[in-house]
Chain A
Amino acid sequence: MSRKDGSLIQRLPVISHLRKSVGLQRGMLVTGLIISALFLLTAALAPLISPYGFAQHFDTQQPPSSAHLWGTTSGGYDVLSRVVWGTQTAVLVIVVAVILSIFLGVALGLVSGYIGGWLDRILVVIADAIYAFPTLLLAIVMSIAISQGRSSMLGGIMAAAISITVVFIPQYFRVIRAETIRLKAEPFVESAMVVGASSVRIMARHIYKNATRTLPLIFTLNASEAILTLAGLGFLGFGIEPSSAAEWGYDLNKALSDTTAGIWWTGVFPGAAIVLTVLGLTLVGESMNDLNDPRLRGRRRAGKTAPTATAGPTANSTPENEVTV
């Protein structure tokens, strides 16, 4: 049993990738993991880390000082607290958006790929149509439709998450559908058919698990995209009210007019937070992508301890007997 548990932990997405990686790829993955871990930790410990609440008012536009380490904004909020609380909003939006889109996308992809026919064609056309829209435009339309532009914390988060969901469903749908179509022709699915398994059983037991192996990868890549979409919505003024939650995009928007007045601290910190988070998540996602593909994966050199062979008895043989080919 313990053998099974050990191998299970080692087969978990991120851990198995870490074990497989070497050199630069490992460096990228570890950097990404550290940044992402910091991001999650900040979100979890936001009430402890941040000196003030995200909606607390102070004197406006104070430069960094001991009372306000990163200064205050034109609205009188403490920048440090806003940035720290902002991680919480970002995590919530990512989690809600990705969970919603994974469930719907996977279910639709399985059904569409396995059953095929007209249902498949209609779903693909819809997915393509959604794909053709610019992401942000679609998100704006959705957020207006859901919450008339701006609202409370939960409402705002849900609005942002749902608008991101609508954009992401086609991605999951496509990946799962393509995998399902490929797996449908695999002998093990045919052998389930021959045995007399029902369609639901084949989808749930035989295809589902095999089709979802690429999901952790899309998840990390989409998570960073979700942050960008959320920040974009906030920046354009379709985000969350500053009194209901801290949101980096909104802060950036308000910092826009400060830049000409030489007030740098209101924009730099939320901006850096966005860049770092996206960078961390993208690094994890991209290195997982490379590690999943054996052709892109770097490996340790073979035969570091291999004994040197006897030199070929030839006039042409070079001094080094061991040459990589």
Chain B
Amino acid sequence: MRRHAEQLDEVSDVTDGPVLSIEHLKVTFATDTGDVKAVDDVSLTVAPAEIVAIVGESGSGKTVTAKTILGLLPETAISSGAVLISGNNVISVTPRHLRQIRGQEVAMVFQEPSTALNPVFTVGWQIAEGLRAHGKVSKKAARARAIEALGKVGIPEPEKRVDYYPHQLSGGQKQRVVIAAALALNPGLIVADEPTTALDVTVQAEILELLRDCRDIFGTSIVLITHNMGVVADLADRVVVMYQGDVVEEADAITLFASPKQDYTRKLLAAVPHLGRNSASAGLTERAHQDSEVLVQARDLVIEYPGRLGTPAFRAVDSVNFSISAGEVFGLVGESGSGKTTIGRAIAGLNKTTGGSLKVLGYEMLNFRERSFRPLRKEIGFVFQDPAASFNPQLSIGECVAEPILIHEDRSPADVDKRVAELLEAVQLPKSYADRYPHELSGGQRQRASLARALALNPKLLIADEPTSALDVSVQAKVLELFKEIQAEFGFAALFISHDLAVVDILSHWVGVLYKGKMVEQGIGSEVMGRPQDDYTKRLIASLPVPDPAEQAKRREAHRALLLS
């Protein structure tokens, strides 16, 4: 043990070389259907105080690469090549030596801060755990260092917060604690696997700021794994683009965004929605479709979830007013917990309203009865967030799409098949896909099929709840385009719910911004995005990173100024 420690000290004195260098890394997983190559010959280096972003779509091998750096791969994986951290090959060192490296040389920040922290220990204890694992520390000293670490990551009143349990902190604060634990031993390298994906945009901006400080103040190198090009543009010095286990392109951030060399990178960047470009409402001066029939009308709408015994009810939606006319696309934006999904579900009759008035196709939802509402259901289509979960895995795609037709219309089987084929064609799926099962389709194809099912009865109103947030950017771009085309062709009204401002802007004519259950602002999409009036909307838009490093640097300054004012 001591020999290893000495060896480590010796090696970590050498500071001029790269902190991390990966050479010809290959990772293969054993699965039921044979071996799967997750990473195929990846080489990259990270210099001291450098932030390197590994970007790629799902299945590109970016997370596997990150896990290899800490030796966190499951037993079913076999890796070859070399991952050198300060001269030690993580792949071939002994488990004991690996434990020495972890924490001291390299630490990890996880995607979901609420699951990365153990709920039954205080945050102080969890930060000190790393200290205890690397040498004897007295209780007092460990506590002092935990407080210091919490202070470093900008948690107010660290002396008090050190005794808090994870559930007493907000999501952003939890992620700060995770970063504090990673920083506790002052490692030269932090691996951050999608560190802001689970967080809201406004919180994301704060965490990105903190990660930048880690580099600037403590000289920590960061390997940033993400699929969000905005985050990359905001934070990264250098970018490595991965595709199907291979490095496609590697360049510094400004060059990569300005002049991508490879086709794949170009396609990927083109698919990223960019706030302010390609707006559906560009050029509009007044609300479209104002004189057509009003399909949904909410007046002082209140939706409460009953609290547990003794606790008051939770008000998810608080006196909200809006209307959706026939043919109009209404975009509803908000962060998690803003009540946007609750409103969408209430319109579809999946949630009960508790106050005010919500009229859907003339039906007052306050006195909702499934029996009397059922005939109206054929006028409403619903597209769910997760296309994988919204199909019955036991039924073929054709059967799933035919389901609404079978329930509401009396057609012959041949007629139903014909209609299903028509629908699949409308969403640009080959009609032979009717015989396939949901798991045999890709995410984008499933979401198309989901759209086909929602359109099966030619509804007047379509509710789409985050329909693209489970998809990769390039797939998202295609689905959004399809959605736009079909909406223009069929002319249905739509309620488009999303947390992503840029995505909402691409589709919606009229946008409403929700914050903590209240509608803080609504207006023409390009107006709201371009000249926000409400303070919250201003903050929301300013904190959204755009996929362009130069522009993002300017926006960052503006955001800082906004926060200070």
Which residue of A188, A209, A309, A323 contacts B389 across the interface (Cβ within 8 Å)?
A188
A216 to chain B, nearest CB (A): 15
Q: B73 and A325: CB pair below 8 A?
A: yes
A291 to chain B, nearest CB (A): 10
Known: A193-B350, A210-B392, A303-B35. 6 other contacts (CB 8 A): A187-B384, A196-B404, A205-B395, A209-B392, A299-B76, A302-B35
Of all A-B residue pairs in the complex, the 7 with the closest CB atoms, nearest first, are: A312-B82, A302-B30, A196-B377, A309-B80, A187-B390, A303-B78, A195-B404
Q: Does B380 make an interface contact (CB < 8 A)?
A: yes
In the docked arrangement, what's the CA distance between A210 and B391, Å?
12
In the docked arrangement, what's the CA distance between A129 and B68, Å?
51
Most chain B CB atoms below 10 A, which of A187, A300, A311: A187
Interface string of B360-395 (1 = CB under 8 A from A): 000000000000001101101010111001111111
Q: Does B336 make an interface contact (CB < 8 A)?
A: no
Q: A317 and B392: CB pair below 8 A?
A: no
Q: Does A121 make an interface contact (CB < 8 A)?
A: no
Q: B26 and A306: CB pair below 8 A?
A: yes
Q: A306 and B78: CB pair below 8 A?
A: yes
B400 to chain A, nearest CB (A): 8
Q: Does A201 make an interface contact (CB < 8 A)?
A: yes
Interface residues of A in 78-121 (CB under 8 A from B): none
Most chain B CB atoms below 10 A, which of A188, A195, A300, A318: A195
Q: Does B89 make an interface contact (CB < 8 A)?
A: yes
B341 to chain A, nearest CB (A): 12
Q: Number of B residues whose C-beta is below 8 Å from A?
A: 53
Q: Does B88 make an interface contact (CB < 8 A)?
A: yes
CB-CB < 8 A to B28: which residues of A? 302-303, 306
B438 to chain A, nearest CB (A): 9
Q: Does B6 make an interface contact (CB < 8 A)?
A: no
Residues of A that sit less than 8 Å from B by CB = 4, 20, 186-188, 190-198, 201, 205-206, 209-210, 299-303, 306, 308-318, 320-325
Q: A192 and B403: CB pair below 8 A?
A: yes
Q: Does B79 make an interface contact (CB < 8 A)?
A: yes
CB-CB < 8 A to A324: which residues of B? 75, 77-79
B293 to chain A, nearest CB (A): 22
Q: A194 and B380: CB pair below 8 A?
A: yes
B462 to chain A, nearest CB (A): 11
CB-CB < 8 A to B348: which residues of A? 194
Q: A196 and B408: CB pair below 8 A?
A: yes
Q: A317 and B92: CB pair below 8 A?
A: yes
Which residue of A191, A303, A315, A325 contacts B453 across the interface (Cβ within 8 Å)?
A191
Q: A322 and B384: CB pair below 8 A?
A: no
Q: Does B267 make an interface contact (CB < 8 A)?
A: no
In the docked arrangement, what's the CA distance between A303 and B26, Å?
11
B63 to chain A, nearest CB (A): 15
Which residue of B35, B76, B377, B435 contacts A194 across the interface (Cβ within 8 Å)?
B377
Interface string of B495-518 (1 = CB under 8 A from A): 000000000000000000000000
Interface residues of B in 380-429 (CB under 8 A from A): 380, 382, 384-386, 389-395, 403-404, 407-408
Interface residues of B in 28-54 (CB under 8 A from A): 28-32, 35
Which residue of B23, B30, B377, B384 contacts A300 across the interface (Cβ within 8 Å)?
B30
CB-CB < 8 A to A205: which residues of B? 392, 395
Interface residues of B in 428-461 (CB under 8 A from A): 435, 450, 453
A101 to chain B, nearest CB (A): 23
CB-CB < 8 A to B18: which residues of A? none
Interface string of B1-44 (1 = CB under 8 A from A): 00000000000000000000001101011111001000000000
In the docked arrangement, what's the CA distance between A201 and B408, Å?
13
A240 to chain B, nearest CB (A): 41
Chain A at the B interface: SS class: loop
B95 to chain A, nearest CB (A): 10
Q: Does B81 make an interface contact (CB < 8 A)?
A: yes
Closest to B408 in A: A196
Q: B391 and A320: CB pair below 8 A?
A: no
Q: A301 and B89: CB pair below 8 A?
A: no
Q: B77 and A325: CB pair below 8 A?
A: yes
Interface residues of B in 75-127 (CB under 8 A from A): 75-82, 84, 87-89, 91-93
B77 to chain A, nearest CB (A): 6
Most chain A CB atoms below 10 A, which of B24, B29, B390: B390
Q: A323 and B350: CB pair below 8 A?
A: no
- 8 interchain pairs, CB-CB under 8 A: A187-B389, A198-B407, A206-B392, A303-B78, A314-B89, A316-B88, A322-B78, A325-B79
Q: Does B71 make an interface contact (CB < 8 A)?
A: yes
B141 to chain A, nearest CB (A): 32
B249 to chain A, nearest CB (A): 23
Q: B403 and A197: CB pair below 8 A?
A: yes
B434 to chain A, nearest CB (A): 13
CB-CB < 8 A to A190: which residues of B? 350, 384, 390
Q: A325 and B91: CB pair below 8 A?
A: yes
CB-CB < 8 A to A195: which residues of B? 377, 403-404, 407-408, 453
CB-CB < 8 A to A302: which residues of B? 28-30, 35, 76-78
Q: A188 and B408: CB pair below 8 A?
A: no
Closest to B72 in A: A325
Closest to A208 in B: B394
Interface string of B340-354 (1 = CB under 8 A from A): 000000001110000
Closest to A3 in B: B435
In the docked arrangement, what's the CA distance between A309 and B24, Å?
8
In the docked arrangement, what's the CA distance between A201 and B406, Å?
11
CB-CB < 8 A to A196: which residues of B? 374-375, 377-378, 404, 407-408
In the docked arrangement, what's the CA distance between A321 and B183, Å?
31
Q: B26 and A325: CB pair below 8 A?
A: no
Q: B390 and A188: CB pair below 8 A?
A: yes
A144 to chain B, nearest CB (A): 43
Most chain B CB atoms below 10 A, which of A198, A205, A325: A325
CB-CB < 8 A to A317: which residues of B? 82, 89, 92
CB-CB < 8 A to A314: which residues of B? 82, 84, 87, 89
Closest to A294 in B: B32
CB-CB < 8 A to B87: which residues of A? 314-316
CB-CB < 8 A to B91: which residues of A? 323, 325
Closest to B396 in A: A4
Q: B81 and A312: CB pair below 8 A?
A: yes
In the docked arrangement, what's the CA distance between A198 and B79, Å?
52
Closest to B456 in A: A195
Interface string of B288-304 (1 = CB under 8 A from A): 00000000000000000
